[in-house]
Structure 1
Amino acid sequence: MSVKLEAITHGLWAATAPEAPVTAVLYGDVRADVAVVGAGYTGLSAALTLAEAGARVVVIEAREIGFGGAGRNVGLVNAGMWVMPDELPRVLGAVHGERLLTALGDGPKEVFARVDKHNIACELKREGTLHCAVGAAGVKELSERAQQWQARGADVRLLDAAETRRMVGTDAYAAALLDKRAGTIQPLAYVRGLATAAVAAGVDIRSESPVEQIEAAGDQWCVTTSGGTVTAPRVIMATDAYTKGPWEIIRKEQVYLPYFNCATTPLPPDILRHILPEGHGAWDTAEVLSSFRMDAAGRLVFGSVGALRGAAQGVHSRWGRRAMAKLFPALKGVGFEHEWYGWIGMTDDNLPRFHRFADGVVGVSGYNGRGIAPGTVMGRVLAEHVLGKLSEDELPLPVTTPQEARHRAVKEVYYEAGAAMLHAVEHRF
């Protein structure tokens, strides 16, 4: 069963991704070794790992494969998290902090390996990413970030203004951090490719099947939808910021940060030679950041904080055209062919969480806008933990109890309204 993804939520990615594997609604009673709730990066990475180890796996998805953040993001395959590398050991402790840095520092490599192994057509580019410095504060931040990663042996380098100008195609930035570990993909194509590989490995994916209840039945768990049940001794919760129903605390533990992307029509060769000429994905250090990268057809994908709904839709779209033209004057007058948006889940400390919701029910969430590589890694980690290959003492995150984010509702209103107000006036000329 296939459902057409909504244009405003998936835009260019829905228009250019290969088809997802055919799936069906859950009807009747099904038994499995592991039930996975959520068909995004984490859930499908977990399911694929489990199936390759011989487990019977059923994935239950409320909407369609990649409907949440996996199908809406900009497609930057980044290493690490938003926070500075040295901050992780301070927050998580030396053991978990360094484990997480290693796991997520190698995250892009794990994504690339999945793509190669399963021949996933997702416009993968391995050239790296550019984190661009806005002002002196941005240069200072990136210099510190470069030093901290380099101390851990990471392949990163701080570029000066001239190198940045050449590799980005604008003189707006004083420096940039080149991370050669990273890259870009077509994000919906990648998650659909994971699903195709999972199905080929024997995973049973049931879409359009929102979970209504998860309850213990002896040494088993019964996952119930309106059409049927999945009974399994183990459950992996992989719904992250789009969680509804049982354990909705996963969603409430995170503050919604809206993020939108707009894509131009394919640009002519004379312009493509000068904007991100080596194929890097990029974003900047501004508090209300901007991101930009090219797709395989030469469209510039340009994004920032904001929700494309109501009156704000036009505000953000107009701002995008102004901001894009300010960075790249050759694009003045160029419009957008696609526009879409989604929600980033932000935890209080901007780090992910590993939760044991009950005996036999685990999950990782809170990727803070870094879902592609961390989701792939943590899906594999969850599977190895469920299989008994990775003990609780060996996890890259401590096991914590979920708690609602502080001042969540107020912050969400502030972020959405504040971005719209800023974009209404910024870059007017």
Structure 2
Amino acid sequence: MKNLWSDTCAEDFHAAPLSGEISADLVIIGGGFTGCSAALQAAGQGAKVVLLEAETIGYGGSGRNVGLANAGLWLPPDQVMAQMGQQAGIRLNAVLAEGPDRVYRLIERHDIQCEPVRNGTLHCAHSAAGMVDLQDRYQQQAVRKAPVRLLDIKDVLQAIGSKWFHGALRDQRAGTVQPLGYVKGLARAAAEQGAVIHEHSAVTGASHDRDWTITTTQGTVRAPALLVATNAYSKKFKGLQATPTTPVHFFQLATNPLPDRILADILPNNEGCWDTGLVMTSFRKDQAGRFILGAMGLPDALGIHRSWATRALARLFPQLAGQAFSHFWSGRIGMTTDHIPKIQNLGPNAYGVFGYSGRGISPGTVFGAACATALLSQNETDLPVAPIRGHQERLCTAKGLYYETGARLIHALAMRT
């Protein structure tokens, strides 16, 4: 199984494991969007920051992402307000609406090589009911004066090049990136600002006595502030509560680069797309002309998802029928029951951030920077959401199995007629 993003990443970042005892103003656990954004923000403020990554930067969901830099959450804004309360919901909606602006400003400022394209994204109606949902989402965004447009069947045929969809909601605030390039670029920029980053440095324990002491197999970091940014890839270690999420898997497949004569009518403006299906499907192109198809599900030995992808590719875009997939990879999404990201108090001057529910790029960038500032200043005023004392996700394993079983059943039957 080959990850396309690993094979095509233009950002070359490597760091040595932690060795010995060091001190910092802020220690971060996790080298994804959130952790690297936090490290860059803290270093830019002149703080001494140390980031520990158990594998390599972007090894988890950040390096396995679809690459859609969306505005807002998966939930429509009215539902965010209904679940959080009006004031808190208005704040989170407003902060995340500006998320893509922050992403693309960082890309430009630090010359991050991540194939950035900001031509919007398309939320595609897979059915008549899906179109009704998009009409409601459009109304909610239009009231907020967001730059969105509802596409009918004729418009969506021209925009996507497929007859399969009933319409789409275009959001001009959003765009696409090569996600591993983006997160490695954040790490490189943070290191250039003075952040100390260590890969292959899995945390084995944490304790607090005036300062936090974070241990790995080869070293120790002491710091007054701690940020745990491992999300769906959290691992238990002694002395610190794990951040709970329901694991949902998402796989992707990519073709070899295709000639212009084949791709000419498919996503001519290079938007990133996902649909309204209960078992969501995503699709996009990369800079080299590969077509990338993704969906919920865990790659399995029976080949159910790969077989579905072959059928789906031919049905959605007949001109791509028979094209072989050169890459097939997957990652985990950290899902919460209410689909609202969390900042959890883990102890004195310590946060755990988790639960993006499939929206990691923009929210992770925003939450990481905000948490770094709050921890260093000990002022929570500008956090996107209020920190919580505790959070429980019940029956996480059972829920994950439920999602996977549903994905396998739908993919076993779909696109056969």
TM-score (norm: length of structure 2): 0.97
| Equivalent position of 1:123 in the other structure | 115
Name the SS of the counterpart of 2:77 in structure 1: coil
Q: Is the 8 A contact 1:51 1:203 kept in 2?
A: yes
Which one of the candidate residues 26, 34, 39 is aligned to 1:47?
39
| Equivalent position of 2:357 in the other structure | 368
Q: Is the 8 A contact 2:367 2:383 kept in 1?
A: no
Whole-angstrom CA distance in 2 between matches of 1:398 and 1:286: 31
Whole-angstrom CA distance in 2 between matches of 1:394 and 1:177: 31
Counterpart residue identity of residue 272, structure 2: G
Counterpart residue identity of residue 154, structure 1: A
Which one of the candidate residues 96, 103, 110 is aligned to 2:95?
103
| Equivalent position of 1:4 in the other structure | none
Greater mean deviation of Cα atoms: 142-151 or 403-412: 403-412
| Residue 404 in structure 1 maps to residue 392 in structure 2 | yes
| Residue 322 in structure 1 maps to residue 314 in structure 2 | no
Which one of the candidate residues 367, 389, 392 is aligned to 1:378?
367
Please give the residue correspondences for 1:210-249 in structure 2 after superposition, counting only pairs within 5 Å.
210-217=202-209, 219-246=210-237, 247=240, 249=242
| Equivalent position of 2:146 in the other structure | 154
Counterpart residue identity of residue 178, structure 2: Q
Q: Please report how far the alpha carbon of residue 424 of structure 1 lies from its aligned counterpart in structure 2 after TM superposition.
A: 1.8
Name the SS of the counterpart of 2:249 in structure 1: strand
Q: Please report how far the alpha carbon of residue 248 of structure 1 lies from its aligned counterpart in structure 2 after TM superposition.
A: 5.2
Q: Please report how far the alpha carbon of residue 20 of structure 1 lies from its aligned counterpart in structure 2 after TM superposition.
A: 3.3
Whole-angstrom CA distance in 2 between matches of 1:241 and 1:118: 27
| Equivalent position of 1:3 in the other structure | none
| Equivalent position of 1:206 in the other structure | 198
| Residue 339 in structure 1 maps to residue 332 in structure 2 | no
Whole-angstrom CA distance in 2 between matches of 1:41 and 1:13: 15
Name the SS of the counterpart of 2:305 in structure 1: helix
Please give the residue correspondences for 1:220-369 in structure 2 after superposition, counting only pairs within 5 Å.
220-246=211-237, 247=240, 249-250=242-243, 253-311=244-302, 314-369=303-358
Gaps of 5+ in 2: none
Please give the residue correspondences for 1:2-81 in structure 2 after superposition, counting only pairs within 5 Å.
7-8=1-2, 11-81=3-73
After superposition, what is the alpha-carbon deviation per residue over 1:330-350, rounded to whole angstroms, capped at 9, x for unaligned? 111111010000111110101
Q: Please report how far the alpha carbon of residue 44 of structure 1 lies from its aligned counterpart in structure 2 after TM superposition.
A: 0.6
After superposition, what is the alpha-carbon deviation per residue over 1:20-65, rounded to whole angstroms, capped at 9, x for unaligned? 3231111110111110111111001000010011000100011110
- Would you say how many aligned residue pairs link Structure 1 and Structure 2? 415
Name the SS of the counterpart of 2:339 in structure 1: coil
Counterpart residue identity of residue 293, structure 1: R
Whole-angstrom CA distance in 2 between matches of 1:236 and 1:167: 42
Q: Please report how far the alpha carbon of residue 421 of structure 1 lies from its aligned counterpart in structure 2 after TM superposition.
A: 2.3
Whole-angstrom CA distance in 1 between matches of 2:381 and 2:48: 26
Whole-angstrom CA distance in 2 between matches of 1:114 and 1:248: 32
Please give the residue correspondences for 1:112-191 in structure 2 after superposition, counting only pairs within 5 Å.
112-191=104-183
Gaps of 5+ in 1: 1-6
Which one of the candidate residues 388, 391, 413 is aligned to 1:425?
413
| Displaced runs of 4 or more, over 3 A | none
Tell me the percent identity.
44
**RMSD over aligned Cα, in angstroms?**
1.2
Whole-angstrom CA distance in 2 between matches of 1:370 and 1:61: 21
Whole-angstrom CA distance in 2 between matches of 1:69 and 1:54: 29
Q: Is the 8 A contact 2:241 2:346 kept in 1?
A: no
In structure 2, relative to structure 1, the CA distance for the partners of 1:310 and 1:149 (3 Å cut) is same
Q: Please report how far the alpha carbon of residue 19 of structure 1 lies from its aligned counterpart in structure 2 after TM superposition.
A: 4.4
Name the SS of the counterpart of 1:387 in structure 2: helix
Q: Please report how far the alpha carbon of residue 245 of structure 1 lies from its aligned counterpart in structure 2 after TM superposition.
A: 2.3
After superposition, what is the alpha-carbon deviation per residue over 1:152-183, rounded to whole angstroms, capped at 9, x for unaligned? 12111111111101001011111100000000
After superposition, what is the alpha-carbon deviation per residue over 1:375-403, rounded to whole angstroms, capped at 9, x for unaligned? 00001111111232x83244221221333
TM-score (norm: length of structure 1): 0.94
Counterpart residue identity of residue 230, structure 1: V
Counterpart residue identity of residue 261, structure 2: D
Which one of the candidate residues 177, 194, 207 is aligned to 2:186?
194
After superposition, what is the alpha-carbon deviation per residue over 1:83-125, rounded to whole angstroms, capped at 9, x for unaligned? 1111112211222111110111110111000000000010000
Q: Is the 8 A contact 1:258 1:341 kept in 2?
A: yes
Q: Is the 8 A contact 2:38 2:368 kept in 1?
A: yes
Whole-angstrom CA distance in 2 between matches of 1:43 and 1:85: 26
Q: Is the 8 A contact 1:249 1:404 kept in 2?
A: no
Q: Is the 8 A contact 2:26 2:376 kept in 1?
A: no
Whole-angstrom CA distance in 2 between matches of 1:155 and 1:54: 36
After superposition, what is the alpha-carbon deviation per residue over 1:284-336, rounded to whole angstroms, capped at 9, x for unaligned? 1011111000000000000001111332xx21111101001100001111110
